[in-house]
Amino acid sequence: MRRWPLIAVLCLGASRLWALEGEADVQVIQNHVAAVQGPPGTPVSEAEVDETLAQGTLTHRQGLAPGLSAEGTFWASLDTLPSQTSQSLPQNKLAFSSHFLEGWLSWEPLPGTLNFGGGKQVIHPSSGFSHTPLDFAVRGAPTTGAQATSSWEEGWIGTKVSGFLDKVSASVFYAPSLSWNRATDDAGLKYLTSQQTDGFVQGQIGLTLDATDLRALVIQGPGNPRLGLGVDSSWGDALTLRAESAADASQAAPRFDSMAGATWTTTEQSTVMAELSRDETGTTGRTYGFVRAAGKLDSNVDADAWAKTNLDDHSGWLGSSVTYTADHWALGGSWLGSWGSPTSDAGLSPLRWKTTVEVKAFF
């Protein structure tokens, strides 16, 4: 318990000494879940489980020489519910964890044309908001919230080569398989990175035609190769259309994962977003509809509201948030709820609803 304040002080000192960018985030979460509070056979009832999560990051970007640069993000957290589920309360409820989310060394022998890189990087080629079919390599926990990817997601250790022409780009990312004995070696390594037991190679080709971006991806990991196609097209200053689809390359009956969506942005930077997706990668296919509206209530106050529905069993999730942002801090509150029968997609989760109060500091 004493390590977190010491690390916070050291991080603050480092940010001032080396001009690092830092963010500290504290969330107080109240979960209301369906749980059995008694011996087997006791009816399920609603229980309240509280969680406090403190996280922080330090980020730095540095030019080392002409064409050579480095950047990295170190993350640490202190969690009172490390199991990440209100149904599993470990004996040691207070858990500290930390490692580098990203750390990348980049060399451009031909600036703007050829780039070599190595280290640890997050790979997110998808442009989807609630559903991301082209994000083949994700190292974050699955979410039921409005945004499919987490801002605290960990990258992959590997190497990358990228080439750029006027309208065409191409890249290849190689991530080797890395694992070790958790009992003997994890004590020190877990503060640097988590394991990546499944290595992969991912290639991407992009084509830009006026206001339309096309991309094709292929990934080869431990299973079947997977192919993906995506398109984003801007229509004026307000409307953006996007569509993505991915499928296994070597199956007689490919498992498709597809998404189509649109975003409308007003001159006041308010947005209305809608997405329709079909995911057949699980044991049963699922069709989702998603809508989100976001905008400013004031120059410093942002708000949003969203809903995501399984169109097959009519269960789903909905939520909203309000955030006040100042120069060096932000205060926000959010609400997430679900509906559906106990056998439905959303109803299978023990979560019924939760509220979160979040405080951020930037330095």
Nearest 5°: CA angle at 137, between 279 and 289? 25
Looking at the chain, the whole-number percentage of residues with pLDDT higher than 90 is: 57
Residue 30 inside a domain? The answer is yes
Position 271 in a domain? no
Residue 293 neighbours by CB under 8 Å, 6+ apart = 270, 271, 272, 273, 304, 305, 306
Whether residue 157 contacts residue 104, with contact meaning beta carbons closer than 8 Å, is answered with: no
| Tokens of residue 267, six digits | 């001159």
Residues 82 and 122 in one domain: no
CA distance 203 to 169: 11
* Total count of domains within the chain: 2
Tell me, yes or no, whether 224 and 180 share the same domain: yes
pLDDT, one tens digit per residue, over 304-337 is 999 999 999 999 999 999 999 999 999 999 999 9
Neighbouring-strand partners of residue 277: 259, 288
Q: Residues of the chain whose pLDDT is less than 70?
A: 1-19, 35-39, 41-42, 44, 82-93, 141-142, 185-187
Boundary of a domain, candidates 238, 254, 270: 254
Please report whether residue 296 resides in a domain: no
The average confidence (pLDDT) of the chain is 86
Within a domain: 174: yes
* E-strand stretches of 111-178: 114-121, 156-164, 168-175
- pLDDT tens column, 18-57: 568 999 999 998 888 776 666 676 676 777 778 888 999 9
The parent domain of residue 169 ranges over 112-254
- Report the 3 state secondary structure along 325-356: ECCCEEEEEEEEEEECCCCCCCCCCCEEEEEE
Same domain, yes or no: 85 and 127 = no
| Closest listed residue to residue 175, CA positions, set 118, 98, 249 | 118
Q: Which of 229, 254, 279 is the last residue of a domain?
A: 254
Strand partners, 53: 27, 79
Give the pLDDT score at 2: 43
pLDDT reported for residue 56? 93
**pTM for the whole structure:** 0.85
3-state helix, strand, coil in the chain (%, to 5): 5, 55, 40
The maximal CA–CA distance of the chain, rounded, in angstroms, is 69
Q: What is the pLDDT of residue 3?
A: 46
Q: What is the pLDDT of residue 140?
A: 75
pLDDT for 30 equals 87
Residues 195 and 250 in one domain: yes
Asked if 86 and 17 sit in the same domain, the reply is yes
Question: What's residue 329's pLDDT?
Answer: 95
Do 91 and 128 fall within a single domain?
no
Q: Where a domain ends, among 254, 277, 295?
A: 254
**In this predicted structure, what is the pLDDT of residue 14?**
46
